[in-house]
Chains A and B, each alone.
Chain A
Amino acid sequence: MYRFESFIKTRISRQSFLKGAAAGLALFLSQNALLKKVFAAETPSKGRKSRGSKGVCDIAVSSGKGPRENTLKAIEGLGGMGRFVKKGDTVLVKPNMAWDRTPEQAANTNPEVVSAIVKLCFAAGAKRVNVFDVPCNEESRVHETTGIAAAARQAGANVYFADHWNVVKADLGRPSALDGWPILKDAVDCDVFINVPVLKHHGLTGLTLSMKNLMGVCSGRRGLIHLNIAEKLADLTEFIKPDLTVIDATRVLMRNGPTGGNLEDVQTVDKVLAGTDPVLADAYACTLVNREPRSISYIACAADRNLGSADVARARILTV
């Protein structure tokens, strides 16, 4: 047993005092250095490597069958999940899981859409499916209220709080608005990135779509992303290169977005669309709520930079 009393009564010589002090200082400094090493290690990254798999058509839309069936049909129309997910892959399914709102309030992706995609990934041979988002409200409440965490877990996915300590620094290899921004490493390391946004109103940009949904893989003070947002979202799309974009338009929040909360602002559209080109998917989704794609700043910006096409009229669209 540790004897406190004998410890305080021992006389300490000058030499042993100096020795002890030196040892203590060395321990403190080394611990400090270690902690710095642990938390400051941010490796730069040029972006995610995408396989660039294409579907049989540009966009597949399914409507009127409920969120689950719509999702299955849309992905089937694109050629099936097997075109994107190979055996043993690690897949990241990135829903819009940002607000402490129920599925009926339509501020987040419908949980049934997420769970259907997770199941398809496993059926196609995925080893792991990760689901996370960096939310705007308190994280555990968001996970619970949206219903996404429970639905995805039931489908077998790993749902976890975003690891803000595990990030890479964005470095596109040219001067860009996104330079030096911390991006969660799990979003860069995955074999397949499936972006699953919800279509809804947004004050600044007009509509929240797949490119806006990519903000959820950014760490740091995200308010700053809203400065020069079109440029930054285009950079982010170039950095992440999502393999598959599935847009949930089951319930669409028409006003007071992106948070919503009022059921009167929600309109039932009951559509899910899937595509491989994030810009085209966003552009097509605009037409669902009668918006001109080029009026959304980030779509126009991305199309001008040839990251994808905003020309819905020339796209091959399969309606299921």
Chain B
Amino acid sequence: MKKWVWVRRFSQIFFTGLFIYALAASIQPGHWISPKPWFWSDPLAMFSLSISSRTFVHGLGWSILFVLASVFLGRFFCGWLCPMGALGDLVGSLRKKKRKLSPETNRFWRKPKYILLAVLGLLALAGFQEVWFFDPIVIAGRFISMNLLPVFAQGLNTTFIFLIKHIPPLDTPLTEAYRCVRQSVLGSRLYTFSNAFPIFLYFAVLALAGLWVARLWCRTLCPLGAIYALFSRKALLARRVDDCSSCRRCQRDCRMAAIGPDLKTVPGECILCMDCIYECPGKKTYFSFKPRVRAKTEPVSGGLSRKDFLVLFLVPVFLAGFRRRRRSASRESGAQEGPLRPPGALAEKDFLNRCIRCGNCMKACPTNGLQPSVIDDGWSALWVPRLLPNVGACEYNCNQCGSVCPTGAIRPLPLALKQKVRIGLAEIDRSRCLNWTDQDTCLVCEEHCPLPEKAIQLVHVRGRSRPVVDVSRCIGCGLCQNVCPAEPVRAIRVYPLSSQK
């Protein structure tokens, strides 16, 4: 019985499952579990956000707790809690015979994560938050919200409908079961996200790298792992061996290549997976806060050489020069649709900086109207949420996006306030509107306007009622655009406010 390995596996499965559940449940207001703590416990995101925006982001204290814990417990987060790490272990286990790398290669591959961390740190100092692309919690959360859950729901839905239509004798019980599932698991809306494939591809490349070398992402690139590695170099809870017989079995099988050629633990690399306890033939390996037998301590050689430090410093300085906030292509080209941001979003520049693109808001939006930006809006806006009224409008009685945002990029507004926040303004295109062009009296926009004092009013012109927008009332929720029957371009469209750009 590999007791501790099983305890560790249970912890990984439990916390990853809970994370998925929290993300899935985030659509319902006032649910007992929120996905936010996973992001708050992430020092990489929290520090980068705090430093780049020069504020104390809510959640910073929580993440400091995790850093402090790693001083005592080592990289327990990577081995026991991280969803990306759990996936890395799962993928790694598909490969039976582990690839052996030379000690030099292993050593070389430990470095990029520190360099990446330094780059991200310097960028944060310069005022740019770029961790959204590299943070493992964000990558995992984004994949779950934008790919895993929607695809699962679509698949389940399709399967049920197929069975109902093709197995007539089971029609009634299956329909009952389907309605049960629809009410509980699937919800009223099945999500689809534009731009979901690049998000999946990016995640898949990182995940499948584990097939080549186990936990390749964690050892080589993960900047969050780098933070924990830095703080856990002298961790109290550590792997200890009494009376080693130098069989090198632990070194051969270590998934993090954390056991050096001298059979000592490489500082900051051990993730406490507990495998080596059970591989040690004489059961001489154990994890504890204090060694059983007082061993002579030698200064461990590790860390960075002077040359490494120079590279580490110069690379980010060089890269920072590339970082320039470019005006988005769609705005430059004078395209009609500028991005509409969710209600309560910070001013555009701050919003882009504060958003970590975790996808929580888009998964929580009940109409599926919040969609990830594509590359057209520029790198600085990639995968940032924007409201597409043609897909779904902003529900009048809903403030879920703000309540699930872990970073405060979308402020958690109380409902009464959110109902007054203006995200854009509707504008009627009189050359397309069925009423204004005398094709028919439709007035669907006026009908749907959710404001108690309707922002779309009717005027009687030339013997017919025609809609006009009352700009003093309109909050830009986009429901009018969503339901407008004009094809292919809607006759009423919502534009972002010029002050927000």
Contact = CB atoms under 8 A, between A and B. Distances in A.
Nearest to B467: A203
A143 B439 CA distance: 35
A35 B483 CA distance: 28
Contacts of B442: 204, 223, 226-227
B161 interface: yes
A204 B447 contact: yes
Given A161-B188, A223-B485, A5 B452 contact: no
A316 interface: no
Contact of B165 (A41, A100, A138): A41
Contacts of B444: 204, 223, 226
B483 A2 contact: no
Contacts of A35: 158, 162
A140 B187 contact: yes
Contact of B94 (A2, A41, A141): A2
Nearest to B397: A100
Given A140-B366, A203-B458, A204-B447, A4 B95 contact: yes
Given A4-B94, A140-B366, A203-B443, A223 B452 contact: no
A139 interface: yes
A28 interface: no
A215 B441 CA distance: 17
A165 B162 CA distance: 10
B396 A100 contact: yes
A191 B396 CA distance: 37
Given A34-B162, A203-B447, A223-B485, A160 B182 contact: yes
Determine which residue in A34, A136, A227, A259 has the highest number of CB atoms from chain B within 10 A of its CB, and name it.
A259
Contacts of B187: 140
Interface in B165-212: 165-166, 179, 182-183, 187-189, 211
Contact of B448 (A136, A145, A224): A136
B483 A223 contact: yes
Contact of B396 (A2, A137, A165): A137
Contact of A141 (B161, B397, B439, B465): B397
Contact of B484 (A34, A145, A223): A223
Contacts of B96: 3-5
B452 A261 contact: yes
B382 interface: no
A174 interface: no
Interface residues of A, number: 39
A262 interface: yes
B298 interface: no
Given A35-B158, A137-B450, A226 B395 contact: no
Contacts of B453: 256, 262
Determine which residue in B158, B187, B366, B452 has the highest number of CB atoms from chain A within 10 A of its CB, and name it.
B452
A203 B448 CA distance: 10
A100 B395 CA distance: 9
B317 interface: no
Contacts of B396: 100, 137
A38 B165 contact: yes
A70 B40 CA distance: 55
Interface string B427-471: 000000010000111111011111111100010000001000000
Contact of A138 (B158, B398, B465): B398
B450 A259 contact: yes
Contacts of B439: 227
A161 B180 CA distance: 10
Interface string A131-166: 000001111110101000000000000101100010
A227 B94 contact: no
B97 interface: yes
B189 A259 contact: no
Contacts of A262: 452-453
A216 to B, nearest CB: 14
Interface in A158-181: 158, 160-161, 165
B211 A224 contact: no
Given A165-B161, A221-B485, A137 B443 contact: no
Contacts of B182: 160-161
B367 interface: yes
B6 to A, nearest CB: 18
Nearest to B442: A226
A2 B450 CA distance: 55
Nearest to A1: B96
Contacts of B366: 138, 140-141
30 contacts: A4-B211, A5-B95, A39-B161, A41-B165, A138-B366, A138-B367, A139-B188, A140-B188, A140-B366, A141-B397, A143-B188, A161-B179, A161-B183, A165-B161, A203-B443, A204-B441, A204-B442, A204-B446, A222-B483, A223-B442, A223-B483, A223-B485, A226-B443, A227-B440, A227-B485, A228-B440, A256-B452, A259-B447, A261-B451, A262-B453
Given A227-B439, A227-B485, 16 more contacts: A38-B158, A38-B165, A38-B166, A100-B397, A145-B397, A161-B188, A203-B447, A204-B443, A204-B446, A223-B444, A227-B440, A227-B442, A256-B452, A256-B453, A259-B447, A259-B454
Shortest 5 CB-CB contacts between residues of A and residues of B: A261-B452, A139-B188, A223-B485, A262-B452, A204-B443
